Amino acid sequence: MRPTSLGIIGLGAIGGSLARQAKRAGIATVVGWSPEPAERAAAAQQGALDDAPYHARDVVRDADLVVLAAPPLANLELLERLAPAFAARTLITDTGSVKRGIVARAEALGLGPRFAGSHPLAGTHGRGFEASRGDLFQNAVVYITPAAGGERAAGEIAHFWETVAGAHPVTLDAARHDAQLAVTSHLPQVIASLLGVFLARHAPPGASFGPGARDTTRLAASTPALWSEILLLNRDELLPALRALEEPLGELERALETGDAGTLTAWLDRGRVWRRGLDS
């Protein structure tokens, strides 16, 4: 069932975009909060919110669904601080990219039957409410990670993302989510940043960078504080993925050292085939 009242905590690119889409989809009451007064004011003035109270607890008191759209560590703190303010009927989700910690926190607080995490695979290059868009989640995949006993909540939250945001919900276990994202999202972020650090140190002064360097380091421009939280929260899954890079890197080094064109071509071709498969 679609909520008639939605509370959003965090009005950056994710929370702000969700507020915009919810109003556009006809949600009767959308209330939001940000620690930044300017974001609260902008969201209300631009019609993304019906109200923007001063206190976060006033957002969640009467909401059918509450979305925690702050950074991961802030979401953990907010869930615990706001737990006493949730109405008995309120369903709760978050939008962070690491799920085991917040699912476990919801269960520990007795919110398991009413909680399922969300992770929309969508984002923008900007920050804050000014980076929000009214179509950010259209056709995006959103992972839904239920807490123990939260299967019904997960179904309703998935329905919300599909019917209100136009997204494609996929339900999976929080542990499986974190293992998968360590490889498909967190590792690419680390590699892009690693290459950025290397080029900053070793590129000749005044060197120009073409599309190759710019494309492969795009993620390096991401917010360091946010990504530090994500990488540390999921480090037990990320570290084995990082160590697994030693094998293909070793293959490349040996092929170059020995001048083995056949092995080098085959190594490059594996990457080519995989990348072209993404677009097919």
pLDDT in tens, 79-136: 999 999 999 999 999 999 999 999 999 999 999 999 999 999 987 666 788 888 989 9
Which strands form 141-146's sheet, in the order they lie side by side?
A: 116-120, 141-146, 168-171
Q: How far apart are CA 185 and CA 121, in angstroms?
A: 10
Fold of 177-278: 6-phosphogluconate dehydrogenase C-terminal fold (1.10.3660)
In the prediction, which pLDDT does 126 show? 67
In the prediction, which pLDDT does 253 show? 96
> Over the stretch 167-213, which tens digit does the pLDDT of each residue have?
999 999 999 999 999 999 999 999 999 999 999 999 999 999 999 99
- DSSP output for 207-223: ----HHHHHHTGGGGS-
Radius of gyration of the chain (CA): 21
Stronger pLDDT, 273 or 129, i.e. the higher one: 273
Mean pLDDT of 142-151: 96
In the prediction, which pLDDT does 146 show? 98
Asked if pLDDT for residue 265 goes beyond 70, the answer is yes
Does domain 5-172 fall into CATH 3.40.50.720?
yes
Asked if pLDDT for residue 73 goes beyond 90, the answer is yes
In the prediction, which pLDDT does 2 show? 86
- The sign of the torsion formed by the CA atoms of 142, 147, 151, 153 equals negative
Q: How far apart are CA 67 and CA 7, in angstroms?
A: 6
Number of H helices, E strands in the chain: 13, 7
Mean pLDDT of 237-248: 96
Cβ–Cβ < 8 Å for 159, 76: no
Q: Any idea where the domains of the chain sit in the sequence?
A: 5-172, 177-278
Mean pLDDT of 245-270: 96
> Over the stretch 23-51, which tens digit does the pLDDT of each residue have?
999 999 999 999 999 999 999 999 999 99
Q: How far apart are CA 3 and CA 63, in angstroms?
A: 8
Query: In the predicted model, what is the mean pLDDT of the chain?
Result: 95
Mean pLDDT of 66-86: 96
